[in-house]
Each structure stands twice: as structure tokens, then as C-alpha cells.
Amino acid sequence: MVKYAIGVDFGTESGRALLVDVTDGRQVATFVHPYSDGVIDETLPTSGAKLPPDFALQNPLDYIEVFKRAIPAVLQESGVDPADVIGVGIDFTACTMMPTLADGTPLCALDEWKDDPHAWVKLWKHHAAQPEANKLNEIAEKLGYKFLDRYGGKISSEWFFPKAWQILDEAPEVYAAADRLIHAIVIDHVLGLTFLPPDLDAVGILAVAARAISGPDHKLVAITRPRLAVDRPQTLVLGVGTALVDHQPLVFVRVKV
């Protein structure tokens, strides 16, 4: 019996699904679903308020819509029985992150926070956290950390921690309301996994790296702003999975806050 897998790529302007035959990698069907809100870089969809320079946001509900439309579309086009699909893989460009409640609800989906830009997804090309990235680079240099050499010599505003720090700096009420700051909302809502930086023990291309890499310890985050290190509640790990990227393990955890 032939088996299949579906890959879903969440891009900058659209989500794309690909159905393949796992026996030989043959492409069976594809579907592209453009995001209804696209890249939000001028005004917020909810209020029409003008965004500050270098903001690049997205609507996380667009990601869910991709699943609702793209996966049924490739199954219908191919005629493949859903029971014969044995795996679903997804990818986002890092770092695309957002604040959520403990149950994974995006803050921007709540009336209380829908008009605050910091409650929305910060897309990978959101560069408004450059001041925070600059401060992190200064601190890392003073502490003598050598991990930056592995990543082009500096922490980018596109990474997780500068974006998290920007929320704390510019919208502390949003930061306080968030139970979690996470990557990729569909992982939480559809696949039941949350992608988090493990123990804040490294900063890298994905804001996550292995302990085997010579990277910063808790001091880097704790020194920049103690709340980043200690204000998040302790979590109970319910399940753990790993994957290898650049020969280093990334940790995927399902947590209960």
C-alpha cells in the first residue's frame, strides 16, 4: 500500500502544501493559499492604526486557514485517502514569534489586545527590535562570549530574544499578559507541540541551539533584563521530541504552565 506525507511551508505571503509519495519522493499534488492579511507592515487590520517603522507582523489565524484549505485541496486533487497520509511536516522562516495564553490562544485574537501591535505575530523580517539586538550584542561582547562568531558576528533583530525584549520594553502589559512567547502557532494548535528556547541556554539562528555549542548561559538574558529570565512561570514538561539541525539537537516540548 502506497503511503504519503504532506509538507506545509508557511511563507511570507502565503502557505503552500505539497503531497508526496514517500516511496520515491514523487510530487503528487500542490496547493497555495495566500494569507488574507499578508504582511502587516503599514496598518493594523483591526484598528487601522499606523504601525511604527520596521514593523512586520502577521495574523496567526491565517496559518490555521492554510491548514483548513490547503490540506483538503491536495487530498481532493490527488484522490489520496487521508488514512494513507502517515506524516505532516511544517516549516516557518525563523524567527517568527508571538505571545499567547497558556492554551495557545494568540493575544491578538482577544478583544483586549487586538489593537496592540505587540500582541500580533512578529514576522521573521520584523526589524523594529534592532535597539534590543544592539544591547544584547554589547552585553555579549562585554561578557566575552564567543558564540557570535558562529552566527555572523552579531545577534540579529530577526531572532527570538530581541523581539521578546522589545515586547517587554514597549508593551510591558502585553508581556505580562502572555503566558508564553512561542514560535509558530500552528505547532501548538494543530500538532500539539510548542517550540520554545530550552532553558534560555543559547542564542542562535533559531533562538535555540545545543548545549554542546559554546554559547551564553543564563547570565546573558538575566543581565539584560531580569524579568526575561525569571518572570515566566515554571513549566511542566509533558512530552519532548528532538530534531537535528546543523548537527545540533533542537528541543520541542509540550508544556503545561
pTM of the predicted model, to two decimals? 0.78
Distance CA 241, CA 249 (A): 10
- Relative to beta strand 4-10, strand 85-92 is parallel
HEC per residue, 106-174: EHHHCCCCCCCHHHCEECCCCCCCHHHHHHHHHHHHHCCCCHHHHHCCCCCCCCHHHHHHHHHHHCHHH
The one-digit pLDDT tens for each residue of the chain (257 residues) are: 899 999 999 999 999 999 999 999 999 999 999 999 999 999 999 999 999 999 999 999 999 899 899 999 999 999 999 999 998 888 888 788 899 888 888 999 999 999 999 999 999 999 999 999 998 888 888 877 776 777 778 888 998 888 988 998 999 999 989 888 887 655 555 555 444 443 333 333 333 333 333 344 445 555 554 555 444 433 333 333 333 333 333 333 333 33
DSSP string, the chain: ---EEEEEEE-SSEEEEEEEETTT--EEEEEEEE-SS--B-SB-TTT-PBPPTT--EE-HHHHHHHHHHHHHHHHHHHT--GGGEEEEEEEE-S--EEEE-TT--BGGGSTTTTT-GGGSEE-TT--TTHHHHHHHHHHHHHTT--GGGGGTTS--TTSHHHHHHHHHHH-HHHHHH-SEEEE-HHIIIIIS-BB--GGG----TTS---TTS----HHHHHHH-HHHHHSSPP-EEEEEEEEEETTEEEEEEEEE-
What pLDDT sits at residue 243?
36
What pLDDT sits at residue 239?
32
Distance CA 126, CA 107 (A): 18
What pLDDT sits at residue 5?
94
Lookup: cell for 192: 500539539
Distance CA 253, CA 251 (A): 6
Domain ranges of the chain: 4-185
What pLDDT sits at residue 209?
34
Report pLDDT digits (tens) over 3-50: 999 999 999 999 999 999 999 999 999 999 999 999 999 999 999 999
Domain boundaries 4-185, corresponding CATH code: 3.30.420.40
Distance CA 80, CA 19 (A): 9
What pLDDT sits at residue 253?
35
Rg of the chain taking only CA atoms, in angstroms: 19
